[in-house]
Chains A and B, each alone.
Chain A
């Protein structure tokens, strides 16, 4: 009899626990906005393949900014200080989950604003949804050429990060053309980031008479780069471009060194801009270029910011010398725009976004509004601290050929050190 009873009570008890847990969990969900706070939502990769960005990407920057704002009593909105509260959901880099999260943030949690998601593909996925719910989204990691025409019809989306044609590769190609580079080999990952950098590089090289010897795509799972490096070595390019993500870029560095492949210039995609690249490769990294860029020498404000953010990201190894400073500048701008608007009404704040300049950690900050002034926004070139970085003696120097540079561009770079 007892056996029979147990046979049914165990599954029943399990179901009961599930139902009660669901009610409790649902009850514990965040409440909607109150008049005393500003609620900002974000769907982020907290447990998925891009989870590292929660440590060294946008997340530590907005968390620091929120702490600072709240420590100062909040953002002044029409004479009343409102504290900022963050609601962050995990999407594990699954676009369908990210879309669902954004819908929940906008419709149930009724957030006032959104922070951007983790990465370019996710930005593509959630930007139309943010726009659909007329919720202002402040950009984060990610940005893409193919997004530009779409921004014209997305007035609620502001993308802050620089990328291939905006304005990194034109600056890079100017640098190598000025030094007399004639040939380029491109290796790119077969995703949105790699594909766009490849096409932009080919087009920019064409404009400057630089010959592209080969453009080879690689999968994200690549485990052996020997054939590509051997082929590149046989073609002897002046410049080697590695447009992939940290794992593939690290593999490239190791393979290029072991096969003694020494082009005059090497540019490496995301990963190279982080402090851990310097910790991994040390002196071998001298002369290697990356996408970015800023450093503590960019300005006294940048130095103070670097000092402030470094302990929060977990040390020098997690310093992001590409986007970190513009994310922070964007939040500083946002706070001033809300104060200027004097309301949490998104359309009133957008009016400020479209017209106003504010001083931030990067200096004068304003938006280039797409769609003849009615669409979403991109950051103009003048607001970036730099476009191309080059590791020189442990510093990711800004080597742009303008007033932003913190060191001269080294070309040709020294050969890899022999171990």
Chain B
């Protein structure tokens, strides 16, 4: 193996930065007197980062706007409600996470097989409809069949919740990275560019779309399980809240979907802004400020924060090169 062929800068960026971030994340719960609040805030960051990365994994490449996030996330909630109730857990938590992910995968596979032939606004409408359908069906089942409304899930400690989320984040990033770098990633990008052309070149477009859609759904379902052990109360409103479909999408757009860091940066900044606006002295203007930020992003940052950073970096590089040339 010739080490001189390795681009150390590229390797540093691809492996070093995520590794440093991961190590920092592992030590967050032990960070001094801020730890109590820090761990809950960072858990929130992780939830939205995973959802945004999972969402961008499919939509970012294919251009199919999925608003089904809340449906798969909600399945995770109900997996926790049924298998991990406050009265006594039926199976260990990691099994519940696997079940939440598996059920979401299967549902997304079925839904994808039926609907991924739809395009554009029709697919977006169907996926949002799926969230509303899940809400109605589960609500009917609980109220009219079981005669109950909410189910209380066993409460987990902040540390357990946090480390599960770190674990799911690592899996999400690895899955997204390897899909992007694989033949599937190339196929997905070709689908996004021109689906007919991709099909003519021999790409099994339907199967690839369905599988990636189902994989992203599995990650959403896994997060739902963990969040349920944090919020503990599960009802159809909490589980199938349409805002959960919109927020990660907006976060990913805000951060930029060109690479893996975009959705993660978008989710972190968005969640933090949301947090300080909702509970700070501007809390009564939260929605107004949030709306202005969104409008500004769409008008001035069509490629998101990562696009802005890349543009700036290119300009700095260009300026340095010009200076060197002149010198």
Give residues in A with beta carbon < 8 Å to B: 8, 10-12, 14-15, 18, 21-22, 25-26, 28-29, 46-47, 89-90, 94-97, 99-101, 103-104, 107-108, 121, 124-125, 128-129, 132, 146, 150, 153, 190-192, 194-196, 199, 217
- Interface flag for B170 (CB, 8 Å): no
A153 nearest CB neighbor, chain B only: B86
B238 in complex: contacting residue of A96, A108, A150, A153, CB < 8 Å? A96
A195 in complex: contacting residue of B44, B148, B293, CB < 8 Å? B148
Contact between chains at B231 and A96 (CB < 8 Å): yes
How far does the alpha carbon of A125 sit from the alpha carbon of B280 in the complex, in Å?
22
Contact between chains at B283 and A146 (CB < 8 Å): no
Contact between chains at A29 and B283 (CB < 8 Å): no
- Interface flag for B207 (CB, 8 Å): no
A190 in complex: contacting residue of B143, B150, B233, CB < 8 Å? B143
Task: Give the shortest distance, in Å, between B137 (CB) and chain A (any CB).
Answer: 12
B244 nearest CB neighbor, chain A only: A96
Contact between chains at A97 and B278 (CB < 8 Å): yes
Contact between chains at B152 and A124 (CB < 8 Å): yes
Contact between chains at A22 and B273 (CB < 8 Å): yes
Give residues in B with beta carbon < 8 Å to A: 36-37, 40, 44, 86, 139-140, 143-144, 147-150, 152, 155, 227, 230-233, 235, 237-238, 241, 243, 272-273, 275-284, 286-287, 293, 296, 300-301, 308, 311-312, 315
**6 new A-B pairs (CB below 8 Å) besides A11-B300, A190-B140?**
A18-B293, A101-B279, A125-B232, A150-B152, A191-B143, A217-B144
B146 nearest CB neighbor, chain A only: A195
Contact between chains at A124 and B279 (CB < 8 Å): no
How far does the alpha carbon of A96 sit from the alpha carbon of B242 in the complex, in Å?
13
Contact between chains at B235 and A22 (CB < 8 Å): no
Task: Give the shortest distance, in Å, between B312 (CB) and chain A (any CB).
Answer: 7
Task: Give the shortest distance, in Å, between A47 (CB) and chain B (any CB).
Answer: 7
When A and B form their complex, which 7 residue pairs have the shortest distance between CB atoms, in order from nearest? A192-B149, A25-B280, A107-B36, A108-B37, A28-B281, A125-B233, A107-B37
Contact between chains at B301 and A89 (CB < 8 Å): no
Sample 14 A-B pairs with CB under 8 A, ordered by A number: A14-B296, A18-B293, A28-B280, A89-B278, A90-B283, A95-B235, A96-B227, A99-B232, A103-B40, A104-B279, A125-B231, A128-B232, A190-B140, A195-B149
Task: Please indicate the chain B residues that have their CB under 8 angstroms from the CB of A107 in the complex.
Answer: 36-37, 40
Known A18-B293, A25-B276, A94-B243: A192·B150 in contact at CB below 8 Å: yes
Contact between chains at A8 and B152 (CB < 8 Å): no
Contact between chains at A25 and B281 (CB < 8 Å): yes
Residue from B243, B296, B315 having most chain A Cβ neighbours under 10 A: B296
Task: Please indicate the chain A residues that have their CB under 8 angstroms from the CB of B243 in the complex.
Answer: 94
How far does the alpha carbon of A95 sit from the alpha carbon of B240 in the complex, in Å?
12
B232 in complex: contacting residue of A10, A12, A28, A129, CB < 8 Å? A129
Contact between chains at B40 and A100 (CB < 8 Å): yes
B86 nearest CB neighbor, chain A only: A150
Task: Please indicate the chain A residues that have their CB under 8 angstroms from the CB of B231 in the complex.
Answer: 95-96, 99, 125, 129
How far does the alpha carbon of A309 sit from the alpha carbon of B230 in the complex, in Å?
38
B47 nearest CB neighbor, chain A only: A96
A105 nearest CB neighbor, chain B only: B279
Task: Please indicate the chain B residues that have their CB under 8 angstroms from the CB of A192 in the complex.
Answer: 149-150, 235
Residue from B36, B149, B231, B287 having most chain A Cβ neighbours under 10 A: B149
